[in-house]
Amino acid sequence: MRESAGVNHSSYGLDNHGLYNLNDIYWNLPTPSLMEQAIFRREGQLSHLGPLVVRTGHHTGRSANDKFIVDEPSVSKDIWWGDINKPISEEAFDNLHKRLASYLQNKDVYVQDCYAGADSDYRLPVRIITENAWHNIFARNVFIQAEREELADHVPGFTVIDVPRFHAIPEVDGTVSETFIIVNFSKKLVLIGGTSYAGEIKKSIFSVMNYLMPQRDVLPMHCSANIGPNGKTALFFGLSGTGKTTLSADASRTLIGDDEHGWSDNGIFNFEGGCYAKLINLSAENEPEIFSTTMRFGTILENVTMMADSRRLDLDDSTLTENTRGAYHISAIPNATLDGVGGHPDTVIMLTADAFGVLPPVSRLNSAQAMYHFISGYTARVAGTEKGVTEPSPVFSACYGAPFMPLHPQRYAELLGKRIDEHKSKVWLINTGWTGGPYGVGSRMAIPHTRAMVNAVLDGKLDDIPMRKDPIFGVEIPTQVPDVPIDVLFPRDTWKDQGAYDAQAMKLAGMFRDNFKKFSLQVSQDIKDAAPKAG
């Protein structure tokens, strides 16, 4: 086993992870060295101004069905087992680990020792061991880099071994396919194989933090966070397509982070040191800060189309996937804070894109309603092109991040309610979806109106405005918002056929209640009572 020369590394060797007889071990290489390695090994190509363009093969997104948690005594009673958190035996994990270690013998590996968690009181030392050099650049970009003097004493609290070219044998290993993402909490180890999609590395550590942090009275959150000119922090929850990245990336506010955070007694802290942004149809006009990262040395561009002759990008091309991605260090965002922390949030915004056209564009939630909508994690997809599909379909993702939550959603909701009550945070539901009717009849909420509502919320301009209670969803709707027409605020008034609105609203309310049934045994009565009115 040979070590790379001239680079500080921990005395905690790879034999502690069951890896022996390796070839070269490249410890904590800086980004330029890793870029050279990636180019030399033909893992990717440099595009205009220096980003590395890579292809992830047939896996261009997460493999949700291939994720497992080892069912062992220390976690067995805590995990919310089901379709998302699927168990696998200790024996199956150990056998797969041994075969993976055998595969890596006489091969080169790349190691990054870094951290998850910007608050030093809660940070988790992590080690990312990769088969590909570009995956190590990804790790440097999205996790918090260790200082050089910290490397010698770095002992990982959790380790990821990422080996894309090693595949499971389902009938032998107990997996669903040749791809696997397996978390073992007792061994503090994640094994990833059969996929080159780098997001699996990031999200596996997020899942680990989502298990560990509640044990320390910290709420882990799938949200973005920023700080206003007045020094007040705001959180933005929302699933894909709701506008979370766009609305939180405000040049007049300081970005803490765009995806993963913790809320502790100290305040808000970023789990990460970088961003992993969706790039499809990105434009310099609408998102200039993110757009600039696509022309920056060190950025990793996944499955983005590049012109062969000029090496320039076509960010509108979805030939390979709609899920084109860019991974870059947070220092690439000019209005980001590099310390990754903020105070207790004054404002919590939950975003939804209601394609049924019935939720109000802005409404205030009490604590129980906040927990109800947090557990529900609602948005909607527009009607597809399949024959017979004529209306939107609801999407419910608990805690706005169900695939990454190992515990029951009630555990996270209780922490949210506790923090909201302790710090008197105001919670608002913002609907960026349809008005005047459902998708296909009405129109998408005007972006200037949505921005005006968000700004009014953040600036406290709605705190003393009279409210009207929605008769079905129970939320409070402000009777006026600066720069927003009053008729836009009340969705029933925007429909030509108000009877059709009533029917559609009751239908969506029923969908909320049906989805919530699976949580009913563990959820407190006050949260149940916050459900929309029954039909």
Out of 244, 329, 426, 449, the active site residue is: 244
Out of 17, 140, 325, 449, the active site residue is: 325
Out of 9, 86, 203, 232, the active site residue is: 203
- Based on the residue annotation, tell me whether 47 is a catalytic residue of this protein: no
- Based on the residue annotation, tell me whether 259 is a catalytic residue of this protein: yes
Instruction: List alpha helices for 156-295, DSSP H.
Output: 170-173, 199-212, 244-248, 288-293
Q: Cα 86–244–213 angle (5° rounding)?
A: 45
Out of 31, 47, 60, 62, the active site residue is: 62
Instruction: Confirm if 234 and 228 have CB atoms less than 8 A apart.
Output: yes
- Based on the residue annotation, tell me whether 2 is a catalytic residue of this protein: no
Out of 9, 127, 222, 419, the active site residue is: 222
φ/ψ of residue 277, rounded to 5: -95, 145
Instruction: Confirm if 226 and 250 have CB atoms less than 8 A apart.
Output: yes
- Based on the residue annotation, tell me whether 244 is a catalytic residue of this protein: yes
Instruction: Confirm if 107 and 170 have CB atoms less than 8 A apart.
Output: no
Q: Cα 121–125–129 angle (5° rounding)?
A: 165
Nearest to 137 by CA among 327, 376, 310: 327
- Based on the residue annotation, tell me whether 86 is a catalytic residue of this protein: no
Out of 119, 162, 173, 259, the active site residue is: 259
- Based on the residue annotation, tell me whether 62 is a catalytic residue of this protein: yes
Out of 240, 246, 292, 367, the active site residue is: 240
- Based on the residue annotation, tell me whether 222 is a catalytic residue of this protein: yes
365-382 residues labelled b (16+ CB within 10 A) or e (exposed): bebbbbbbbbbbbbbbeb
Out of 63, 175, 245, 347, the active site residue is: 245
> Which DSSP category does 481 fall into?
B
- Based on the residue annotation, tell me whether 59 is a catalytic residue of this protein: no
Nearest to 450 by CA among 432, 433, 438: 432
Report the relative pairing of strands 393-396 and 426-431 from DSSP bridges: unpaired
CA distances from 153 to 8, 94, 339, 365, 426 (A): 10, 28, 22, 47, 42
Q: Would you please indicate which residues are annotated as catalytic (active-site) residues?
A: 62, 203, 222, 240, 244-245, 259, 325
